[in-house]
Amino acid sequence: MRKRIGILTYRGETGFVEPGFLSRLVKEGVKMGAEVFLFSPQDVRYSIRQIRGYVPLETGWTSDWYDWPDIVIDRYRYYPLAKHSIYLPFRKQPWFRYANNRFSNKYRVHQVLVQDPELARWLPETCPYSKETLFSMLEQHRIVYLKPTNGTGGRSILRVERQSNGYMLHGRTKQQAKSKERLFSLADLCKRLEGWMESEKSGNEQFFLQQGLQLSLIPGRTVDARLLVQKDGSGEWRLTGMGIRIGASRSSTSNLHGGGSAVPAAAFLIDHFGREEAERIILECKELALKTVSRIEKHYGQMMEFGFDLGIDIQGRVWIIEINPKPGREIFRQLGQHKRYLQAVRRPLEYALYLANQIEEREQEQAQEQARTQY
């Protein structure tokens, strides 16, 4: 019997937030022999155990009523203020079997990872925002980042650079508008940062400070590595791919939809560090990713995929910048790696089907065991 996979995602008045990827996800699931549909919290009718699900047409989407899914992939990435109260209470309900557990905000994840001696060496200094912490970190580091705990896509991040005659700020707002200004005193800097947090936060969101790294392997550009690690159809973690992202000129981040570009990792690293050192860096990135996902699962439970944003500084040292449990995979399309992009789309479906089959096998074994005990 065909397995039924539900994709939990945000759907607003203008439709789905990442329609291209979600459409591809549904279509690939159908090719794999599954029944796949999208739904949002408002589409569930628990009393009749049915869901209004959505599937793509040539143009737009169509909806129908579907029976309860065998497994759900949580792809709910966005938290507009008006809808923020819907997702978390819904996700806490024990209605579905999920392929991926809920994660946490960026600062709490940092707190979990920094307790592991093996991982702490890869983590930049990270602290909750306060004036005192800002002063202290700017004394130690020429660059400090102000980041929101739930931000995505490089939005609402402010880069603060200490200069001889003041402070230079670069950032991008929630609406992706670029911001650049120079301030000349710590008092003015604090006032500006507090104004930024007030205008950029969602609800009661908090901000934290993070040590800036020397990631200018290309002068005037922010450079980092994006790794995608995913579970495959046998439940094992695999490195799906890796690429280098180069930020737009004078941008505070390297994000692709903020004007950045992508280049193949091996060629870029060989060009900057030589072959032997490049191979070491790539191996360290893979080791870091696999150790980190193991630690995360011990703390948060079963997960499915992660996008890692890794800094590689001018000395070749690797750093964890950010970890995203619901990552994009657009970097592979930018690199022209279409087979790898397709693999990145299919792996969550393969893992979901693996889980659904395991659940079915366990239920059959339990039914057989109950039947034996009755006689």
Complete domains list, the chain, with CATH: 4-98 (no CATH), 125-212 (no CATH), 214-375 (3.30.470.20)
pLDDT at 285: 95
Q: What is the pLDDT of residue 311?
A: 92
Which two structure tokens, joined as six digits, stand for 52? Answer: 């209004």
Strand 11-12 relative to strand 61-67, pairing: unpaired
Q: Residue by residue, what is the 3-state secondary structure of 59-124?
A: CCEEEEEEECCCEEEECCCCCCCCCHHHHHHHHCCCCCCECCCCCCCHHHHHHHHHCCHHHHCCCC
Dist. CA 351–CA 232, nearest whole Å: 5
pTM of the predicted structure, to 2 decimals: 0.88
pLDDT for the residue numbered 149: 86
Residue 42 CA, distance from chain mean position: 24
Can you tell me the distance from the alpha carbon of 178 to that of 153, in angstroms, rounded to the nearest whole number?
A: 13
Q: Which amino acid is at 196?
A: W
CA pair distance 216, 164, nearest whole angstrom: 19
- Find out whether 259 and 279 touch, Cβ atoms under 8 Å: no
Per-residue pLDDT of the chain (375 residues; tens, 9 = 90+): 899 999 999 998 888 989 999 999 999 999 999 999 999 999 999 999 999 999 999 888 999 999 999 999 999 986 544 445 788 899 999 999 999 999 888 889 999 999 999 999 999 999 999 999 999 999 999 999 999 987 666 788 999 999 999 999 999 888 777 888 999 999 999 999 999 999 888 777 889 999 998 877 888 778 899 999 999 999 999 999 999 998 766 554 545 555 578 999 999 999 999 999 999 999 999 999 999 999 999 999 999 999 999 999 889 999 999 899 999 999 999 999 999 999 999 999 999 999 999 988 888 888 888 877 766
Q: If you count DSSP H runs as helices and E runs as strands, how many of each does the chain have, helices first?
A: 10, 19
CA nearest neighbour of 189 among 172, 204, 209, 174: 209
Classify each residue of 1-16 as buried b or exposed e, where b means 16 or more C-beta atoms within 10 Å of its C-beta.
eebbbbbbbbbeeeeb
pLDDT at 82: 44
Residue at token pair 């950029």: 200
Burial category of 306 from C-beta neighbours within 10 Å (exposed 0-12, middle 13-18, buried 19 and up)? buried
Six-digit token string for 119 = 């991982």
